[in-house]
Structure formats: C-alpha cells, structure tokens
Amino acid sequence: MPTSTEAGLPTAASAGNTSAGAGHTSTPGTTADGHVHWLSWARIVAIVAVVTVHVCAHLTLEWGTVGAKLWHFGNLAESAGRFAVPLFVMVSGATLLPPRPGERLRDYYRRRAARIAIPLVGWTAGYLVLDAWLHGRAITSYTFVQGFAWGRPYYHLYFLYVVAGLYLVTPFLRAFVATADRRLLVAGTAVCLGLATADKAQHLLMGGGGFNAFSYFVPFLGYYLLGYVVATARPRRPRRVVLAWSAGAYAAAVLVTAAVTWWLFGLVGPQNGRPLYDYYAPTVLVASVAMAYGLRAVFGDRAPNPARARLVRRLADLTFGVFLLHPIPLELLVRRHQPAFASDYADMAFHVGVVLALVAGCGLVTLVLRRVPVVRRLF
C-alpha cells in the first residue's frame, strides 16, 4: 500500500527523484529519500487554511445579519486563507514534475491510478449520499452519474478531480520541464496563470463558463508548474530578505482582498461581491506565491535534524485525511448546534476553537483509520 506521502494529493510533499533537465537543476535540499522539508510544512499550513476558510465562510455570506466586527473577522479569515488550494497544487507540482528518466509511462499511470482511484470513487460516493441525506433528496442512479460527471460531489471534493487531471498530464509536463531552460519554464508558467486569470475575468464580466470532472484541472496548470518553479529556484538573496519581501507581499495582498471585498459587498451584495476570493484573482495569486517563497525561507529545504523531519513529515501525512473528513463534523455537529453568543469576540473565539478542534480531531481519526487494512486505502 503506497503511503499518502507518495500520492501527489493534499498530502504530497516528498519530491521523489528531483533531477531536472536541461537548463535547470534538481530541487535544492532534497534528502536521500526525496524529502523536502518546507513542502511538508506547506501541507500543514495549507490544511489549516482550508479548514479556516470552510469554518468562517458562512460569516461573510451573513452580511447584514451578523455584527460588523464578526463579519470583518470572517472576511479577513477568508482573505488570508485563499492561498490554500493553490499552495496544495504547487506542492504537488514540486513533488511530481521533476523528471524521472527511468520511469515507464505505463508504470507511472498504474501507480497513480492506484493511489487516486479508490479515494476518488469512495469519497465521491460517500459525500453524494451525505449531501442527498442532508437536503432530503432521493438517492438514485442519476445522483451518482451526475455527481461523478460534474466532479463536485461536495464543496471540497472537486480537488480530487483536479489532482486526477494533473496526474494524467504530468508525463507530458515532465517532458517540458526536462528540456525547457529556465526562462521558457517561467514564461510557460506565466502564460498558464495569465490565461486562467483572463478566463475567470471573462466569466465574471460576461457569464458562462464552468468546469466538470474532465476539466477542473485545466486552470490549475499554472500553479502546478509554479510549484516546480519555486522548488527549483536557486536563492539569490538571504533567507531573511526573502522572508521579509514574502511577508510584506502576503500581508498587502490579504489586506487589499479584504478591503475591496468589503467595498464590493456594500456595492453589489454577498453573492456578487466575492471575485477577489477566486484562486486566480491577482491578490490571491500574489498571496499564494508569497506564501510558498515565505515557507521555503522560514523552514528551508532540509530539516534541522532527522527526528524533527520525521515528526513534521508524519504530521503532513495526516493532512489528506483532515481534508477529506472535516466537512462531516463541521456540517453534522457545528452547523446544527452552533451556539449564539452575546459578544462578537466570543463568537470569533468559538470559530478559532472549531478550526483547531477540526484539524486536531480529524488528524487523530485519520491516524487511527490509516491503521485499518481496508479503510486505509481511502486515505
């Protein structure tokens, strides 16, 4: 049974064989077993951001019904956490795109299909049943046909379809990164990101568009390549300088997102005032890149000691399970039994507590379930 670390999902962090092709070199700091320390931390930070966004998202939609302080808290949490999915995709790109000269195409697809197929099918079916039950809908064969074809059986599971699509095209992208020089690699990444941003802008201004199980991965190609670009970049500045620039860029992007979203909510309401929450909004793009470079600057490519590296890696391996499981207690327990608070500050503290409880609780459940022979294949 392959471990989740090997899987290129939200738990993917080891870079495997990170030898690069012409024009650029291998991922700096790769250990003998292929582990890159900052990528493990990136998964941990990203999963906390994912849970934070899902816990706090309802506050922004309750514009006009919750207190102003509480709404701004939710808006700031949303704005600060939108980097999470792009960062997960960048981690997968850093992990899977380094060329592997000895790997046959058939072997690659066989291994990747084994790692993604069971979680994708199992969790899609499970969440389709849960969603139908929560909304009082009948469960029919069309429920499953439509759910699998749309590629969004629940609000977070589209990411499994993103990963499946990226798996499919990875061998062709590896050929590109193996032969492209650094300028062409960066230019190709910029083109993919620019096209995705333009596509989102067109949808916003003119309507139309939309994705399904077969196309969800396409807009994420730019972030996928960007992960490889960040992971293989040779530092030209001291880490403290990179960290300072990254922290400044991230903070500025979050504040602009929050401020403009506040203005848009007042102008067009909560349903149409969320364009800067999109993964390809310019501010989210800046925040995602800044977060990746900042994490690399903070934690480095190599762990300070082997024991700490093993601990961080084991924690990072639990993030896929946290990602898959957290909507279940969030919807069944928190949303249905959420208390009312007299103070906005008490409500904020409650939301912070829920985030921490979901991350820790789902992590522990994942740790237990991954020891069960059959069930562990879902994680």
* Of residues 106, 163, 109, 192, the one with CA closest to residue 323: 163
pLDDT of res. 28: 56
Residue 17 clears pLDDT 60, i.e. is over it: no
Residue tagged 């196309």 (tokens)? 215
pTM of the model: 0.89
Digit-coded pLDDT (tens) for 166-218: 999 999 999 999 999 999 999 999 999 998 898 888 877 776 667 778 888 99
Could you tell me which of 243, 253, 316, 279 has the C-alpha nearest to residue 91?
A: 316
Q: What is the CA radius of gyration of the chain?
A: 20
The Cα 38–Cα 29 span in angstroms is: 10
Alpha-carbon distances of 153 from 215, 222, 362, rounded to whole Å: 15, 24, 20
| 21 against 372, higher pLDDT | 372
Interacting residues of 78 by C-beta distance below 8 A, sequence separation 6+:
53, 56, 57, 60, 261, 277
Q: Inform me whether the pLDDT recorded for 300 exceeds 80.
A: yes
Alpha-carbon span 230 to 217, nearest angstrom: 20
| Contact residues for 284 (Cβ-Cβ < 8 A; gap 6+) | 82, 83, 86, 253, 257, 276, 277, 278
Assign 273 a pLDDT band (cuts: 50, 70, 90).
very high
Q: Mean pLDDT, the chain, as a whole number?
A: 88
In angstroms, the CA 270 to CA 62 distance is 8
Percent of the chain surpassing pLDDT 90: 67
